[in-house]
Chain A
Amino acid sequence: MTGKEFIQYIVFFIILTLAQVLICNHIVLFNVAMPIIFIYPVIRMQIDINSGWLYSIAFFLGLVIDLFSDTPGVNALACTLLAGLKRPAFYAYVPRDDKTKTVTPTVSEIGLAVYSKYLLTMTAIYCLLVFSIEFFSFADIKEILIMAAGSTVMSFLLLLSIDSLSMPASKIMN
Chain B
Amino acid sequence: MRNLLRFLMKYGTWFVFSFYVLLSCVLLVNSNSYHTSVYLTSANTMVSSVFGVTSNITEYFNLHSINESLQARNAELEGEVLNLKNQLAEYRANADSAGDDDIRQRFGFISAAVINNNTRHPRNYFTINKGYLEGVKTGMGVVDQNGIVGIVNVAGRNTARIISLLNETQHFSVKLKGTHFIGSLSWKGNDPTIAYMEEVPRHARYHAGDTIVTSGYSTAFPEGLPVGTVLNRVRSADDNYFTLKVHLSSNFKGLSTVRVINDIYKQEIDSLQTFDYKSDK
Contacts and interface: CB of A to CB of B under 8 A. Distances in A.
Contacts, number: 59
A84 interface: yes
A66 B27 CA distance: 10
A76 B17 contact: no
Contacts of B21: 77, 80-81
Interface string B133-153: 000000000000000000000
A136 B17 contact: no
A83 B18 CA distance: 12
Interface in B45-98: none
B202 interface: no
Interface stretch (B28-36, B231-239, B272-280): B28-36
Interface in A66-112: 66, 71-74, 76-77, 80-81, 83-84
Contact of A52 (B12, B25, B29, B30): B12
Interface residues of B, number: 20
Contacts of A35: none
A42 B12 CA distance: 20
B17 A55 contact: yes
Interface in A32-88: 50-52, 55-56, 58-59, 62-63, 66, 71-74, 76-77, 80-81, 83-84
A2 interface: no
Contacts of A137: 38
B7 to A, nearest CB: 16
B26 interface: yes
B23 A76 contact: yes
B113 to A, nearest CB: 26
B24 interface: yes
A173 interface: no
Contacts of B31: 72-73
A80 B18 CA distance: 9
B20 A55 contact: yes
Nearest to B37: A136
B273 to A, nearest CB: 33
A52 B8 CA distance: 13
A74 B38 contact: no
A59 B20 contact: yes
A56 B16 contact: yes
Contact of B24 (A50, A59, A136): A59
A172 interface: no
A24 interface: no
Give 10 closest A-B pairs by Cβ, nearest first: A73-B28, A73-B27, A77-B24, A72-B31, A51-B13, A59-B20, A76-B24, A80-B20, A72-B27, A52-B16
15 contacts: A51-B13, A52-B16, A55-B20, A59-B23, A72-B28, A73-B24, A73-B26, A73-B28, A73-B29, A73-B31, A76-B20, A76-B24, A77-B21, A80-B20, A81-B21
Interface of B: 12-13, 16-17, 20-21, 23-32, 34-35, 38-39
Interface of A: 50-52, 55-56, 58-59, 62-63, 66, 71-74, 76-77, 80-81, 83-84, 133, 136-137
